[in-house]
A and B are shown apart, each in its own frame.
Chain A
Amino acid sequence: MIYRTRENSSQSVADAVPHIADSVRAFAVARGDYYARVMIRIQSHAGFVATFNWGAAVFGPVWAAARGLWGLFSCFAVLELMALVQLSRGLFSDLGAVPRARADRLGENYERMLARVQAARDQGDETGADALARNAERLQAALEKALDQAQEAAAAGVELVIFGLFAFVLIKGIEGISANIAYEKHYSRWRADKRVRAGFQWTGAAVGAVFVAAVYSIALYGFTVAEPVAFIHTFPADKTHYQMLAAAIDRVFDQTATDFGVFFDGIARGIRFLLDGLEVVFVQTPWPVVMVVITIFAWRLAGPRVAIFTVAALAYIALLGFWEKAMETVSLLGAASFLCVAIGIPLGIWFARSERVYAVARPVLDLMQTLPSFVYLIPIIAFFGTGKPPGILASMVFGLPPIIRLTTLGLREVPKDVTEASRAFGATRWQTLTGVEMPLALPSIMTGINQTILMCLSLVVIAALIDAKGLGYDILAALQYAAKGQGILAGFAILFCAVVIDRLVQGGIKQKKGPR
C-alpha cells in the first residue's frame, strides 16, 4: 500500500528522526540535543510521557520566560509565589505577634484589675471587691487563652514552613515534569507559525528574572512583615488631586450650564412639548379607548395570539393600578424612541455614505454603548437638571447607537450591483436612496428600531433615579425599602410593557417584510 508503516513502523520512525531532530535543534538552539531527544520521545508516544527537565525545575518561571512560554511563566510565578509566601511567613514573620500583643494588653488590664480589687478590699467594700474579682477571673481566663494562642501561632510557624517547603518542592517537581510537554506544544506551534518565539532568549530571561524578583520581593514583604510600610498596601494617592479635579469638573459644568442656559432650556422645552403631546394621547385619553386601540393594533400587526396576550398584559397593568404610571412610561419611551429614530436614521445614512465620518463616529458609538448608563445621567443632570426631559435625553444617548449602527449596516449591505443598476438607469442619488437602498435596508433598519426601543425602555426605567417618574419609580422605591411584593408587581408591569411593545414592533417588521 502507500507506505509500510503498519508492517514495520519502527524503521520509518527511524527514517524520520534526523529530520525532526534537526528541526528541534534549530528551534531550541541552546541544549538542542537534549530537546531533540526528549521531543522525539514525546512525539513517538500517544498520551502522557514522563520526562524531567532540570533546567525548568531549578529556574522555574525564568526558564519559561527565556524559552518564550509566557503562559507557563505566569502559572509558575503565581504558584511559586503562593508557596514562598507560606514558607517565608513561617520563617520570618512573627506569627504570634498579634495574639501576644493582645496577651500583653490583657495582662496589664489584669494587673490593674487586681490592684482595684485590692483597693476595694482595703476600703472594706466586700461586695464591690467580689464583683471586681469575678471580672479579674474572666480577664485571667482570656489572658491564658491569648497566651495559648500566641504559643500556638508561634508553633504554627513550623507547620507553615513545612507546608511551604513541601508545596515549593511539589511545584518545582510539576515544573520539571510539565516543562518538556509544554515546550513540545510550543515547538509544534512554531513549526506552523514562525512568528512564535524559538530558542533561548536572554532578553526573555532577563525580563522574567526582573519580574520575578520584583513581584516576589514586594509580595513577600507585604505578606510577611507584620506591619509593612503603608506605601506597599495602599496606593500613595494624594486626596487633593481628586478633590481639585472634581471641583474643576464641577466648575466647568456649572459654567457651561449658565453660559448655554438658553440653549439647554430650549432643548428641554422642545422635548417637553413632544412629551406633553404624547401624554395627552396616552395618559389623558380615556383608558378604554387606549386599551381598545392597542389591542386592535396588536391583533392587526401580530395576530390573535399576541392580541390575547396584550389584553392580559393590559388587564394586569390596569387591575393592579399601574395604568397611569405605565402610560407615563410609554409616553417617555415614545418620545425617546421617536427622537432616536428621527435623529438616528439620517445620521446612519450619512455614516453609510462617508467612510471618513464613520471612522470617527464608530468609536463614539462604541463608547456610548460601553459606558454604564448611569454615567450619562451625570452630565445630563448637570446641564438639564432633573425631571422628564433629562430622562429622555439620557435614554437617547443609550438608544441612538443601535439605530445608527443598523441603518449604516443595512445600507452598506445593499448589493453593489443593485445600486449600480439603479445609477445605470439614470437615477439621482435621492431616487437611488429612496427607491433602492432604503427598501433593501429596511429589515436591518427595523431591527435597529426594535433594539432602540428596548434600549430606551431599559433606560427610561433607570431615569426614575433622576425623577423621571413612571414605572421605574416604583421599582426604585421597592429597592430602597426592600418592598419585594411591590417591586415584583412593578417589575412584571415593565416586563409586560416591554414584551407588548417588542411584539408589536416585530409584528410590524414582519408585515413590512411579508409581501415583499
Chain B
Amino acid sequence: MSDIPIKLEGVWKIFGTRAEEAMAAVRSEGLSKNEVLARFGAVIGIADVSFDVHWGEIFCIMGLSGSGKSTLIRHINRLIEPTAGRVEVLGRDVTRLSEPELRAMRSQKIGMVFQHMALLPHRSVRDNVAYPLEIRGAPKGRRWEISQHVLSLVGLDGFEDRFPDEISGGMQQRVGLARALASDPDVLLMDEPFSALDPLIRRQLQDQFKALSEQLHKTTLFITHDLDEAIRLGTRIAIMKDGRIVQIGTPVDIVTNPADDYVRDFVRNISRLKLVFAHAIMEPLTSDSAEKFAQSPRVSQDSDLDHLVDVAITTPHPLVITNAEGKDIGVVSKDRLLRGIQGGK
C-alpha cells in the first residue's frame, strides 16, 4: 500500500453550469470569488486545496459554515466530483475510478460518519450497522456477528435490536460510527459527527472516539467547526476559509503560531493551559545567573502551563526549567507565565 493514505493535489470545485469555463478563467486570469460569481454565475466551493494525511493520524479540517469543509470531505469518496485536481486515496486516484471500482472502494476502504447521523429509519440498529456489509453481499450470519462486534466497540451492547428512533442522539451517532467501522475501512471520513449533540455528550463521544482511534489506528479525516474539538482530537489541523486552506499544523503550531489574523482570532479564546509547554515561554538561562535561582523550584521543560501555575502558586520565586537530563535551561517569571497563558501579545 502507498505511504500516504489520502493525498489531495490542487483540488478545485466550482459549482454551476459553467464550471469548466470558470475554471479555465480562474486558471488564466486568477479571478476572485466574487468575479467568478458575477461572470459565470458559478460559486467556488474549494479552491486549490492540497494536503497529505498520514497513516493513523486524525486530520482535522476546521472552518466556519460555508468554508467548504463538507464539500471537501465529499471529494475523498467522490460523492462530489472535483472540477480540477487529483484526489488519491490509498494510492489510487479516485477521480479515475470506474463506477464499480468506486463502489468497491466506498464499501471496503472508506467509512463515513455524517453530521445528522443519516441512519436508515426503517432498519434496526443492527441492520443499519450491517448495511455496508449487506451492500457487499455478505451472508447474514456474518453481518450479524460483525455488527455485534462493532456495536460492542462503541459501547452499544444490547441495543442491536432497537430502531434508530428509539435511542438517544448520542447513541444514534455511535451507531453511525459503528456503521462506518463495520466494513473495517482503512480511511474514516467524519463530517462534523458530533456537532449536532449536546455539549456533555459531545465531550463523551470525543473521548470515546479518541480512545477508539488509538486502539484501531484508522486514518481519519475529521471535519469540525469547533476549534476546541479539533485541538482535542486532531493530530494535525487544517484551517479552511472560503474554500482555501489557511494553515496546516499541529494544535500547538496553530495555537502558538497562527498564520494570519483570521486564525489568530480563532485561537484567541482557546485555553492554552494544556497546549503550551514550558519551553515555549521560558527565557533561556544564561550560565552566570545560575545561583540567582537557587531557591526556585525546578520544573521539566515538558510541563504544560497548567502545571507551571500549580507550582508557581506555592513559591514566590520564578520557576527554573530543566531539560531531560535535569540540567537547568531556562526560567519563567510570573509575568512571563501570565503572558504565556494570555497568548502572544
Residue numbers of A with Cβ under 8 A of B are: 1-3, 5-6, 9, 12-13, 15-16, 19-20, 40, 42-46, 184, 188, 191-192, 194
Contacts of B127 in A (CB 8 A): 192
A3:B146 contact, CB within 8 angstroms? yes
The 3 closest A-B pairs by CB, nearest first: A43-B141, A192-B124, A16-B145
B216:A2 contact, CB within 8 angstroms? yes
Which one, B124, B144, B184, contacts A20 given CB within 8 A?
Answer: B144
The digit string for B123-159, where 1 denotes a CB below 8 A from any CB of A, is: 1101100000000011111101110111001000000
* Cα A113 to Cα B139 with chains together (Å): 79
B216:A1 contact, CB within 8 angstroms? yes
* Cα A275 to Cα B298 with chains together (Å): 103
Q: Is B58 an interface residue (CB 8 A)?
A: no
Contacts of A44 in B (CB 8 A): 139-142
Chain A's nearest CB lies how many Å from the CB of B90?
A: 14
Q: List the A residue with the shortest CB-CB distance to B215.
A: A2
Chain A's nearest CB lies how many Å from the CB of B66?
A: 26
* Cα A15 to Cα B148 with chains together (Å): 12
Q: Is B44 an interface residue (CB 8 A)?
A: no
B139:A46 contact, CB within 8 angstroms? yes
The digit string for B207-219, where 1 denotes a CB below 8 A from any CB of A, is: 0000000001000
B184:A3 contact, CB within 8 angstroms? yes
Number of cross-chain contacts by CB at 8 Å: 60
B140:A13 contact, CB within 8 angstroms? no
A16:B144 contact, CB within 8 angstroms? yes
Q: List the B residue with the shortest CB-CB distance to A41.
A: B141
A9:B184 contact, CB within 8 angstroms? no
B161:A16 contact, CB within 8 angstroms? no
Chain A's nearest CB lies how many Å from the CB of B108?
A: 10
Given known pairs A191-B124, A192-B127, the reply for A2 and B153 (CB within 8 Å) is: yes
Contacts of B153 in A (CB 8 A): 2
A188:B140 contact, CB within 8 angstroms? yes
Chain B's nearest CB lies how many Å from the CB of A38?
A: 12
Chain B's nearest CB lies how many Å from the CB of A183?
A: 13
Q: Is B266 an interface residue (CB 8 A)?
A: no
Contacts of A9 in B (CB 8 A): 142
Q: What count of chain B residues pass the 8 Å CB interface test?
A: 24
Contacts of B15 in A (CB 8 A): none
Q: List the B residue with the shortest CB-CB distance to A191.
A: B161
Q: Is B255 an interface residue (CB 8 A)?
A: no
Chain A's nearest CB lies how many Å from the CB of B113?
A: 15
A2:B184 contact, CB within 8 angstroms? yes
Looking at chain A's contact residues, the main secondary structure is helix
Q: Is B163 an interface residue (CB 8 A)?
A: yes
Residue numbers of B with Cβ under 8 A of A are: 123-124, 126-127, 137-142, 144-146, 148-150, 153, 160-163, 181, 184, 216
Determine which residue in A1, A19, A194 has the highest number of CB atoms from chain B within 10 A of its CB, and name it: A1
B139:A43 contact, CB within 8 angstroms? yes
Q: List the A residue with the shortest CB-CB distance to B134.
A: A46
Contacts of B123 in A (CB 8 A): 192
Contacts of A12 in B (CB 8 A): 145
Chain A's nearest CB lies how many Å from the CB of B161?
A: 5
Contacts of A16 in B (CB 8 A): 141, 144-145, 148
A1:B137 contact, CB within 8 angstroms? no
* Cα A194 to Cα B163 with chains together (Å): 12
Contacts of A3 in B (CB 8 A): 146, 149-150, 184
Q: List the A residue with the shortest CB-CB distance to B160.
A: A191
Chain B's nearest CB lies how many Å from the CB of A378?
A: 45
Contacts of B184 in A (CB 8 A): 1-3, 5-6
* Cα A96 to Cα B319 with chains together (Å): 117
Contacts of B139 in A (CB 8 A): 43-46
Contacts of B142 in A (CB 8 A): 5, 9, 13, 43-44
Chain A's nearest CB lies how many Å from the CB of B182?
A: 9
A43:B149 contact, CB within 8 angstroms? no
* Cα A1 to Cα B111 with chains together (Å): 14
Contacts of B124 in A (CB 8 A): 191-192
Contacts of B181 in A (CB 8 A): 2
Q: Could you write out 12 A-B pairs with CB less than 8 Å apart?
A: A1-B216, A2-B184, A3-B146, A15-B145, A16-B145, A20-B144, A42-B140, A43-B144, A46-B138, A46-B140, A192-B124, A192-B161
B163:A192 contact, CB within 8 angstroms? yes
Chain A's nearest CB lies how many Å from the CB of B306?
A: 34
A20:B149 contact, CB within 8 angstroms? no
Question: Could you list 16 further interchain pairs (A-B, Cβ under 8 angstroms) beyond the known A44-B141, A192-B127?
Answer: A1-B216, A2-B181, A2-B216, A3-B150, A5-B145, A13-B141, A13-B145, A42-B140, A43-B139, A43-B140, A45-B139, A46-B139, A191-B126, A191-B161, A192-B126, A194-B161
Contacts of A5 in B (CB 8 A): 142, 145-146, 184
* Cα A279 to Cα B289 with chains together (Å): 112
Chain A's nearest CB lies how many Å from the CB of B31?
A: 34
Contacts of B141 in A (CB 8 A): 13, 16, 20, 40, 43-44
Determine which residue in B124, B145, B146, B153 has the highest number of CB atoms from chain A within 10 A of its CB, and name it: B145
* Cα A214 to Cα B316 with chains together (Å): 100
Chain A's nearest CB lies how many Å from the CB of B176?
A: 16
Q: List the B residue with the shortest CB-CB distance to A184.
A: B140
* Cα A194 to Cα B150 with chains together (Å): 23
Contacts of B161 in A (CB 8 A): 191-192, 194
Q: List the B residue with the shortest CB-CB distance to A194.
A: B161
Q: List the B residue with the shortest CB-CB distance to A1.
A: B184
* Cα A2 to Cα B138 with chains together (Å): 17
Chain B's nearest CB lies how many Å from the CB of A374?
A: 40
